[in-house]
């Protein structure tokens, strides 16, 4: 079995060899190694690729391209993995909300497996990881504080000197890329929320436009979510013999199955009083999903790319 933190550190080593080139800065906080990928530095598309690969524990391939939608061109990220559960759910999924003093961040990456955040997910899969080194990505407008570093290290049962953190804001280039690179995880997570067993997912491929940057973090958050909900596309290969049940799951997966679908995400967010918990959870899903069952070769698809609503989200 792969050790998620160890495979992620191989990608960290690649990043270290290209820091200046990808516009990332390395510093030390409370003894931990911290990479500023988009808080006080400019960052880059490539920095976003590295953050995404590390969040996926080095178990996915990522490439950049462009996509044309209704006569507009956007950058796009493409994700391929033969370890969809390990890379997307046990590592990349932003399942750890960190709040220490005045520092708050969403944590994702393989260190979650050491802290077991959330515990129920790891118990369901039967996954236990032991590692003396930990790697975590932090989406936050500020670099982690010394208290936050100590808290994370303690939760992961590692020394601060064996902790590697990647920090970036939502409205940074790295932040935008890594959100769109969650497209496969978004599809798996939605299926799982419908009762689909994680162990049945064997391969995953996804593509998603990358949101243009906006100085307002809330507007940027809306744009980034709309990339996934309105134009993100997922392909999954599964082993699941109840084909009728599989069809039902797939039909309920796309974002368009939500009662709140039909407006840019930022508008929905404002109408909910800027409270994520008041937004229909069924909305957090890819625009389009295709699933093939491996033993039968039978597939199902649901959803659609909504280029016109995406243009509205971008103010075009």
Of residues 110, 108, 95, the one with CA closest to residue 1: 110
Answer yes or no: are the C-beta atoms of 183 and 207 closer than 8 Å. Answer: yes
The per-residue pLDDT for 267 is 93
Average pLDDT for the chain: 96
Q: What is the pTM of this model?
A: 0.95
The per-residue pLDDT for 276 is 78
Given a cut of 80, whether residue 20 has pLDDT beyond it is yes
Which residue's structure tokens are 């959100």?
179
Q: Which domains does the chain have, with CATH numbers?
A: 1-54+95-169 (3.10.340.11), 182-316 (3.30.1030.10)
Q: Count of CB atoms within 10 A of residue 156's CB?
A: 26
pLDDT in tens, 225-252: 999 999 999 999 999 999 999 999 999 9
Which residues 6+ apart lie within 8 Å of 236 measured at CB?
84, 184, 187, 188, 191, 201, 203, 204, 205, 289, 290, 291, 292
pLDDT band at residue 293 using 50, 70 and 90 as cut-offs: very high
Q: What is the 3-state secondary structure (H, E, C) of 128-167?
A: CCCCCCEEEEEECCCCCCHHHHHHHHHHHCCCHHHEEEEE
Radius of gyration of the chain, Cα coordinates, nearest whole angstrom: 19
Instruction: Outline where the chain has alpha helix (H).
Output: 4-16, 45-55, 84, 111-115, 119-125, 146-156, 173-180, 183-193, 217-231, 243-251, 265-271, 307-313
Q: What is the mean pLDDT of residues 103-121?
A: 97
The per-residue pLDDT for 275 is 83
Answer yes or no: are the C-beta atoms of 114 and 129 closer than 8 Å. Answer: yes
Query: CA 133 to CA 307: how far, in whole Å?
Result: 43
């Amino acid at each position: 079995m792969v050790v998620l933190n160890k495979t992620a550190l191989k990608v960290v080593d690649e990043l270290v060899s290209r820091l200046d080139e990808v516009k990332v800065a390395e510093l030390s906080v409370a003894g931990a190694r911290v990479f500023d990928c988009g808080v006080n530095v400019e960052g880059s598309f490539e920095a976003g690729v590295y953050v995404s690969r590390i969040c996926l524990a080095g178990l996915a391939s990522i490439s950049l391209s462009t996509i044309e939608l209704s006569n507009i061109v956007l950058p796009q990220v493409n994700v391929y993995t033969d370890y969809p559960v390990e890379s997307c759910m046990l590592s990349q999924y932003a399942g750890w909300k960190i709040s220490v003093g005045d520092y708050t961040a969403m944590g994702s990456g393989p260190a979650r497996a050491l802290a077991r955040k959330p515990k129920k997910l790891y118990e369901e899969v039967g996954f236990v990881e032991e590692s003396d080194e930990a790697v975590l990505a932090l989406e936050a407008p500020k670099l982690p504080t010394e208290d936050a570093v100590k808290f994370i290290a303690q939760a992961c049962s590692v020394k601060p000197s064996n902790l590697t953190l990647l920090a970036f804001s939502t409205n940074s280039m790295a932040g935008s890329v890594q959100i769109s690179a969650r497209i496969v995880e978004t599809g798996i997570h939605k299926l799982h929320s419908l009762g689909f067993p994680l162990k049945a997912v064997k391969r995953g491929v996804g593509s998603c436009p990358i949101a243009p940057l906006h100085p307002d973090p809330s507007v940027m958050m809306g744009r980034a979510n709309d990339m996934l909900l309105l134009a993100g596309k997922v392909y999954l290969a599964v082993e699941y013999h109840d084909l009728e049940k599989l069809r039902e799951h797939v039909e309920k997966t796309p974002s368009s199955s939500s009662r709140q679908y039909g407006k840019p995400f930022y508008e929905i967010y404002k109408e909910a009083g800027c409270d994520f918990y008041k937004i229909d959870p069924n909305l957090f899903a890819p625009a389009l999903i295709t699933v093939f069952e491996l033993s039968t070769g039978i597939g199902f698809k649901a959803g659609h790319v909504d280029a016109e609503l995406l243009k509205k989200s971008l103010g075009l």
